[in-house]
Amino acid sequence: MRLENMNWMDVESYLQQDDRIIIITGATEQHAYLSLLTDILIPNKIADAVAEREKVLIAPPLNFGYSRYFAAFPGTISLTQQTFSTVILEIFECLLHQGFRRFFFLNGHGGNLMPQFLADLDRQDHAINAIWYNWWREKAVQNFGQKHNLRLNHANWGENFPFNRVAESPEEVKAWIDRLTDDNDIYAIRQQIGDGSFGGPYEVADDLMNQLFAEVIDEAVGLIRSL
């Protein structure tokens, strides 16, 4: 269930039975041969699959996050971290005043830090619950990587799903880039990382990616049920 497919009366009816909502955060930034909206497309798909099982409402995604370090790559659009946190706070406050009490923040981008108010909220108000879920960092992905001897990194196999491919990926394995040379020099970063991938295989078999996706969905559904 998505807000774009509902009117305000539908949402009011929903709130009489449920006070949960999924808020998708991500970025518009370079992902090598993958879509510039990879960090939105993946959590969008996760949210849809979760909502199909849990009948939970999904808010429109926030398509921009903190991506200043990739600003030399055309197509990247970035907010500051302060702006990102302020936008999340204002979205949260609007929904809170309407009656939502359980918030599942489904984040698709590593540059987006969990706003401090959410950490404070968890300690101060037990009537309001919020989970900040970085899908690629949680146990489902970690266990999958260990099982198959694969390491997820930016724009490599771990983000290469059939639904966010926009070009053919190279067949070779790229050398790992574990640390950017200088976070403040966007042109040095572009020169260092070349096509934009941080290393490892660009792509693995679709059946493996479908298995990974299913395991992430199971994990996310469990967390939403725990709210």
109 CB-contact burial (10 Å; exposed 0-12 / middle 13-18 / buried 19+): buried
Asked if the structure places residue 225 within a domain, the reply is no
Asked if the structure places residue 188 within a domain, the reply is yes
Q: Which amino acid is at 195?
A: D
Residue 218: per-residue pLDDT: 97
DSSP character at residue 77: B
Asked if the structure places residue 22 within a domain, the reply is yes
When divided into structural domains, the chain yields a total of 1
Asked if the structure places residue 136 within a domain, the reply is yes
Question: Do 165 and 35 touch, CB atoms closer than 8 A?
Answer: yes
Task: Name residue 83's beta-bridge partners.
Answer: none
Kindly tell me if the per-residue pLDDT of 168 is higher than 80.
Answer: yes
What's the gap between Cα 223 and its chain centre?
15
Residue range 179-217, pLDDT digits in tens: 888 778 999 999 999 999 999 999 999 999 999 999 999
Strand order across the 129-134 sheet: 57-58, 20-25, 102-107, 129-134
The more confidently predicted of residues 117 and 40 is 40
Asked if the structure places residue 226 within a domain, the reply is no
Kindly tell me if the per-residue pLDDT of 122 is higher than 70.
Answer: no
Structure tokens at 6: 């509902």
Measured distance CA(203)–CA(173) in Å, rounded: 9
Contacts of 215 (CB under 8 A, 6+ apart): 140, 141, 143, 144
Average pLDDT over residues 128-133: 93
pLDDT confidence bin for 161, thresholds 50/70/90: very high
Asked if the structure places residue 87 within a domain, the reply is yes
Contacts of 210 (CB under 8 A, 6+ apart): none
Residue range 70-112, pLDDT digits in tens: 999 999 999 999 999 999 999 999 999 999 999 999 999 999 9
Asked if the structure places residue 46 within a domain, the reply is yes
Measured distance CA(23)–CA(132) in Å, rounded: 10
Contacts of 45 (CB under 8 A, 6+ apart): 161, 163, 213
Domain, as residue range, for 104: 3-219
Place of tokens 């939970």: 56
State the CB neighbour count (10 A cutoff) for residue 17.
7
For the chain, the straight-line distance linking the first and the last C-alpha, in angstroms and rounded, comes to 18
Asked if the structure places residue 224 within a domain, the reply is no
CATH number of the CATH domain containing 188: 3.40.50.10310
Measured distance CA(208)–CA(204) in Å, rounded: 7
Residue 153: per-residue pLDDT: 94
